[in-house]
Structure 1
Amino acid sequence: MSQSETLRSGAEPTEPTEPTEPTAPAVAPTGSRRMESKFPRGLVIRLIAYLFVGHLFAFFVYLLFVLGARNQ
């Protein structure tokens, strides 16, 4: 139970209310550190697909404008 919950419930706190010292973060094993630095495989595939499809669509729209300008 946190200090604020203890105060709201009206019960006496059983632990001292002094702030505790922050603890040092645990050292992650090398395998999980490598996993954090890489993107998930599905995300990379979708990113490449969206970029390819987006550029293909932009080229198609550009081509429509170029061909439309020639026909005037």
Structure 2
Amino acid sequence: MTDMEERFPRGLWIRLIIYIAVGHVLAAFIWFLFEVGANQ
């Protein structure tokens, strides 16, 4: 793991985790809208 941390700076990992989290939240929101629309 140490060679990976040397290759990528800490800020890049934080940004990557934030982008993945936001992407999952957005996908869940879109899925929720489709579920609500299908049930009405």
Is TM more than 0.5 here? yes
Cross-structure match for 1:64? 33
Instruction: State the number of aligned residues.
Output: 36
TM-score using structure 1 length: 0.48
Q: Note the aligned Cα RMSD (angstroms).
A: 1.0
Higher relative contact order (Cα pairs below 8 Å, separated by 6+ residues): 1
Structure showing the higher helix proportion among its residues: 2
TM-score using structure 2 length: 0.82
Query: 2:32 and 2:9 mapped to 1: Cα distance?
Result: 35
- Structure 1: state its 5+ residue gaps: 1-33
Identity value in percent: 53
Query: 2:9 and 2:37 mapped to 1: Cα distance?
Result: 42
